[in-house]
Chains A and B, each alone.
Chain A
Amino acid sequence: MRPWVRLLPVAPAVVLLLVFLAGPVLWAFQASLTNASLTGRNARSPVWVGLENYGRLLSDPVLPLSLALTVLFVGGSAVLGQNLLGLAIALLMTRARRSVSAAVGTAVVAAWVLPEIVAAFAAYAYFSRDGTLNQLLGGIGLGRPDWLYSFPMVAIMLANVWRGTAFSMLVYRAALNDVPSEVTEAAVMDGAGGWQRLAFITLPMIRGSIATNLMLITLQTLAVFTLIWVMTAGGPSNASTTLPVLAYQEAFKFGDIGYGTAVASVLILIGVVFGAAYVRLLRDPRP
C-alpha cells in the first residue's frame, strides 16, 4: 500500500489541528502585524503596520514586569511547586498503606477535576479578605493579611499548585510503578540509603517521565488565565499581570487587537522555546 493511503486515517485529525490550532496561531501572528482593533476606524479598515506593535511592546514598561511574573509563575508554581510536590506525594504513596494512599489521591485529584473557573472561585473565596484562610489564621491568633492585595502572586501560585499537582502526581505514580523492584532491591543489598536510591536509581529511571511532565505542566501553566483573572484580574497595579492577562487586557479591554496579539505571539514563542528544550531533554540518550 502506498504510504499516503496509510496516512489517510489520520487526515481528519490533521485537518482539525490545522484548522483549530495552526489557523488561530497564524491568524494571531498576522493580526499582530496590523493595527486591527475592536472599535473605531481601525476596526473597519485595519492596515499593515509591520513590526510596529513589537517595537511598542519593547518600550512598554509593563512588559518586563509581565515577563518576570510569567517566569516566576511558571517556575514557582509548575516547575518547582507542582512538579516536586507531585513527585513527593507519588513517592510517599508507594510506601503508604493502600487506604491512606487512596484518600490522599482522591483529595489531590479533586482539585484537578474541578473546572478552572470553579477552582478559581474556590481559590478566591479561600484567599479573600474574609476567606477561609484568614479565618483559620485568625483562629490561631495570627494576623489576617490581605492575600490578594498584599501578596497576589503568592496566592495565585499556591492556588495553581493546589489545582495542578494532581497531574504530576498521576504521571509520577505511573512512572514509579514501572521501576522494577529487583533494581531497587539490589541497591538495598548494596547498602544504598533512601536518598541514594532516589538520586541514583529512581530518578534516572523515570527521567523520561520527568521531562514529559515538565513540558506538559510548563505549557499548561504558561496559558493559565482564568485562575488569575478571577482572583486578582492582574492587579493590584499590575502586580499579577502575566502575559496571558496582559494579552487579554490589551486585546479586549482596550480593544487593541493588533497589540494584544503581539503579546500573545510572544507568549507562543516562549512556549515553543520551552517545548523545544524539553523535547531535546527527552531525546538525549542516557549519559
Chain B
Amino acid sequence: MRRRALTITSLIASVAFALAGCSPGAPSDEPKTLKVVYQKTDSFTALDTMFKSAKQEFEAAHQGVTVDLQPVQANDDDYGTKLALALRSPSTSPDVFYEDTFKVRSDVDAGYLLNLDSHLKEWKDWDTFDDGAKAAGLGDDGGTYAVPVGTDTRAIWYNKKVLAAAGVSLPWQPHTWQDILDTARKIKASNPSIVPFNLYAGKATGEGTVMQSFYELLYGTGSELYDADAKKWVVGSAGFKDSLSFLKTLYEEKLSVSPAEALDANVWKKVFGEWLPQAKMGATVEGSYSPSFWQKGGSYEWPGYVDDMGVAAFPTQKGQAPGGVSMSGGWTLAVGASTKAPDLAFDFLTTALNQKNSLAFNIASSQIAVRKDVAADAGYQAANPFVKDVSKLVSVTHYRPATSDYPRISAAVQEATEAVITGTQSVEQAAAGYDAAVKGLVGDDKTVRK
C-alpha cells in the first residue's frame, strides 16, 4: 500500500513537472510590443543612445505600444551570428534590427527582411537620403529592404608628431606603395621602437583585415575580388600576389606590428588606445569612425587627436588613377519579415532615423551621414574635424561583393594574409591556396582568371 502511494505521488509529481513547461503564454490583451535588436559594445554606445531616444519619442506618440530594446553585447562577427540565429525563427525574430550592409542581400535571399518599398513611398524623408547610400539596402530583386544609418570610408591615419620627428614633411600624402615603404623605413631608422605603418593581417582581426588593409591594396592594383558583371570570383590575379607581397615586406622588415600582435584579436584596441595616442605608431589604415574612439565620451578619450592626427588617402599601387583607394561599409536598419506589426515597426524605424536622431548618432559615432540634411548641418561638420577629408573618399571607395559566399571568401583572404605574414607560406603558395579555396567554395565555373 505504501508503495502504491509512493508511485501515485511520483506519478502526479512527474505530470505536474511536465505540465509546468507548458504554462500558457502572455495574455493577448497586453499592449503591443516591438522588439528591437542592435549591437552595443563598451566602445560603441551611440546606437544605444539613439534607440533610447527613439523609444521615448515613439512611445509618447503611440499610446499602448512598448518598445523592447534588446542590445546585444558582441563584436561584429558574433553580433551577426546571434542576429542570424534569432532571424531563423519567427518566434525569436526581432521587429526592427541593426543590419550590416554586406549581409543585406544574403539575408533578403534567406527571407529574413521585409520589403519596404510601399512604406518608403509614403515617407517623405526618404528623398533626403543619398542615392549611393540607398543602394546599400537593395535586394537582388531591386526592392529596398533596409534603410542606411550611416556609412564609412577607410583612410590612413597618421601621427603628425611621429612623422615630423622622422623628418617627413607634413601634411603627408603618399602617392604610391613605394612612398609608404620609404616613409615607414625612414620612421624605423629614426626610432626603432616605433611601429611605422600598421596594416592588419590574419584571421584574428576578421573583416578588419580585409576592410582596413588587404582591399586597400588589392583595389589599388586595378584588380578586384569579384567581377560583378560576369558574377564570377577573380582568381590568379597579379594584383592579389602584389598585395600579399606588400604585406610580407611590411611584416618582414618589422615596419608593422609583430605577427604575434597582429594575430591577437584585440590588436586594434592597442592601436587606438595606446600606440597612436602615445606616439608609438606612425600610421595605420582605419575607418572614418576612428575619431569616435578619441572624442569626448569615446572609449579611448584623447583630446590631443585633433592636433596630433592627420588623414591621408590610401594610394594606388603605382599612383595610377583615380589616385586613391577606400573601402566602405556601413550599417542599416531593417524590419523583420515575420513581424506582426509591419506598420508600427516601420514607424519606429523612421523615428529612429529622423533628422534629429540621425544627426546625434552620426556625430557620436563619427559616421559619414547618409541624409543630406544631416550632412549639411553645421553641428555635424563642426563636431568632427576630419569629416571633410574622410567624406571626400566616397568618390574613390569600393563596396564588398555582398553575396552569400562572401564570408567564406573573406575568410580565405584573411587566411592567405596570415600565412604570408607568419612566413608559413610564400606569396605564391598563399595565392594558390586562395585560388584553390575559392574554386572549392563556389565551383570552377564561377571563377575567372584575370
Determine whether the beta carbon of A39 is less than 8 Å from that of B77.
no
Whether the Cβ atoms of B110 and A41 lie closer than 8 Å is yes
Would you call B106 and A39 a contact (CB within 8 A)? yes
6 pairs from A and B in contact (CB 8 Å cutoff): A5-B7, A8-B14, A11-B14, A12-B14, A43-B112, A253-B81
Task: Find out whether the CB atom of A43 lies under 8 angstroms from the CB atom of B411.
Answer: no
Q: Once the chains are docked, how many angstroms separate the CA of A252 from the CA of B264?
A: 20
Stretch at the interface among A94-102, A167-175, A231-239, A278-286: A231-239
Given contacts A41-B404, A149-B260, A255-B84, contact A233 B204 (CB under 8 A): yes
Query: What is the minimal beta-carbon distance from A152 to any residue of chain B, in angstroms?
Result: 10
Q: Contact at B7–A6, with CB atoms within 8 Å?
A: yes
B165 at the interface (CB under 8 A from A): no
Q: Closest approach, in angstroms, between the C-beta of B6 and any C-beta of chain A?
A: 8
A8-B7, A8-B14, A235-B202 given; A38·B263 CB < 8 A: no
Residues of chain A with a CB closer than 8 A to B408's CB: 254, 256
Contacting pair B88 A38 (CB below 8 A): yes
* List of A residues within 8 angstroms of B261 by Cβ: 129
**Could you say which residues of chain B place their CB within 8 Å of the CB of A235?**
202-204, 263, 418
**Is B383 located at the chain interface by the 8 A CB criterion?**
no
- Given known pairs A1-B3, A233-B265, the reply for A39 and B84 (CB within 8 Å) is yes
Residues of A within 8 A of B103 (CB): 39
Contact yes or no, B111 A43, CB < 8 A: yes
Contact B404 A40 (CB under 8 A): yes
Contact with B along A145-163 (1 / 0, CB 8 A): 0101110000000000000
- Would you give the shortest CB distance from B143 to chain A, in whole angstroms? 16
Q: Does residue A265 face the partner (Cβ distance < 8 Å to B)?
A: no
Q: Give the complex CA separation of A256 and B3 in angstroms.
A: 53
Closest partner residue, chain B, to A43 (CB atom): B110
In the complex, whether B61 has a CB less than 8 A from a CB of chain A is: no
B258 to chain A, nearest CB (A): 8
A15–B77 touching, CB < 8 Å: no
Are B14 and A39 in contact, CB atoms less than 8 angstroms apart?
no
Is A70 located at the chain interface by the 8 A CB criterion?
no
Within 8 A of A (CB), among B1-17: 3-4, 7, 10-11, 14, 17
A129 to B202 CA separation, bound complex (whole angstroms): 18
A40 pairs with B422, CB closer than 8 A: no
How many Å lie between the Cα of A236 and that of B202 in the bound state? Answer: 8
**B342 contacts A by Cβ under 8 Å:** no
* Whole-angstrom distance between the Cβ of A228 and the nearest chain B Cβ: 13
Q: Does B18 contact A (CB under 8 A)?
A: yes
A37 at the interface (CB under 8 A from B): yes
Interface size on B, as a range, is: 35 or more
B347 CB–A CB distance under 8 Å: no
Complex CA distance for A148 and B261, rounded to whole angstroms? 10
A145 to B408 alpha-carbon distance, docked (Å): 32
Q: Is B377 part of the contact surface with A, judged by Cβ < 8 Å?
A: no
- How would residues 232 to 254 of chain A score, 1 for a CB under 8 Å from any chain B CB and 0 otherwise? 01011100000000000000111
Nearest CB on A from B285, distance (A): 21
Residues B259 and A39 in contact, CB atoms below 8 Å apart: no
Using a CB–CB cutoff of 8 Å, the interface residues on chain B facing chain A are 3-4, 7, 10-11, 14, 17-18, 77, 81, 84-85, 88, 103, 106-107, 109-112, 202-204, 259-261, 263-265, 404, 407-408, 411, 415, 418-419, 422, 424
Q: A9-B10, A15-B18 are in contact. Are A236 and B422 (CB under 8 A)?
A: yes
Q: Is the CB of B202 within 8 A of A39?
A: no
Residue of A nearest to B441 (CB): A254
B1, chain A: closest CB distance, angstroms: 11
Complexed CA–CA distance, A129 and B111 (Å)? 45
A39 near B7: Cβ-Cβ < 8 Å: no
* Assembly CA distance A11 to B17 (angstroms): 11
Main secondary structure of the interface of B (DSSP, over half): helix
Complex Cα spacing A252 to B408, Å = 11
Docked-complex contact A237 and B415, CB < 8 angstroms: yes
- Closest chain-B Cβ to A253's Cβ sits at a distance in Å of 7
CB distance from A82 to the nearest CB of B (A): 28
| Smallest CB separation, B9 vs chain A (Å) | 9
Given A43-B112, A235-B418, 16 more pairs with CB closer than 8 A: A6-B7, A8-B7, A8-B11, A8-B14, A15-B18, A39-B107, A44-B109, A44-B111, A129-B260, A129-B264, A146-B260, A149-B259, A233-B265, A235-B202, A236-B263, A255-B81
Distance, CA A151 to CA B444, complexed state (A): 37
Known contacts A146-B260, A236-B422; is-contact A253 B7 (Cβ 8 Å): no
A150 touches B260 (CB 8 A): yes
Q: How far, in whole Å, are A80 and B172 apart by their CA atoms in the complex?
A: 58
Going nearest first, the 8 A-B pairs with the smallest beta carbon separation are: A40-B404, A43-B110, A149-B260, A9-B10, A38-B84, A40-B106, A146-B260, A12-B14
Interface residues of A in 97-156 (CB under 8 A from B): 128-129, 146, 148-150
Residues of B within 8 A of A256 (CB): 408
Asked if A40 and B81 sit within 8 Å, CB to CB, the answer is: no
Complex Cα distance A149/B106, Å?
A: 34
Contact: A43 with B88, CB < 8 Å? yes
| Shortest Cβ distance from residue B450 to the other chain A in the assembled complex, whole angstroms | 25
With a CB–CB cut-off of 8 A, which chain A residues contact B263? Answer: 149, 235-236
Minimum C-beta distance from B206 to chain A (A) = 9
- B328 → A minimal CB distance (Å): 21
Residues of A within 8 A of B111 (CB): 43-44
Q: How far is the CB of B314 from chain A (nearest CB, A)?
A: 26
Assembled-state Cα–Cα distance A150/B423 (Å)? 13
Contact B18 A12 (CB under 8 A): yes
Closest chain A residue to B17, Cβ basis: A12
Contact with B along A26-50 (1 / 0, CB 8 A): 0000000000011111111000000
Taking the nearest CB of chain B, how far is it from the CB of A69, in angstroms?
A: 16
Q: With A38-B81, A149-B263 given, is the CB distance from A255 to B407 under 8 Å?
A: yes
Chain A residues, Cβ within 8 Å of B404: 37, 39-42, 255
Interchain CA distance A259-B404 in the complex, whole Å: 15
Q: Which residue of A lies closest to B404 (CB)?
A: A40
Complex CA distance for A240 and B17, rounded to whole angstroms: 43
Task: State whether A39 touches B424 (Cβ < 8 A).
Answer: no
In A38-72, the 8 Å CB interface with B consists of 38-44
Contact A39–B422 (Cβ < 8 Å): no
Most chain B Cβ neighbours within 10 Å, of A12, A38, A129: A38
Q: Are A39 and B112 in contact (CB under 8 A)?
A: yes
| Set of chain A residues within 8 Å of B88, measured between Cβ atoms | 38, 43
B110: contacting residue among A11, A39, A129, A150, CB under 8 A: A39
**Closest Cβ–Cβ distance, residue B278 to chain A (whole Å):** 15
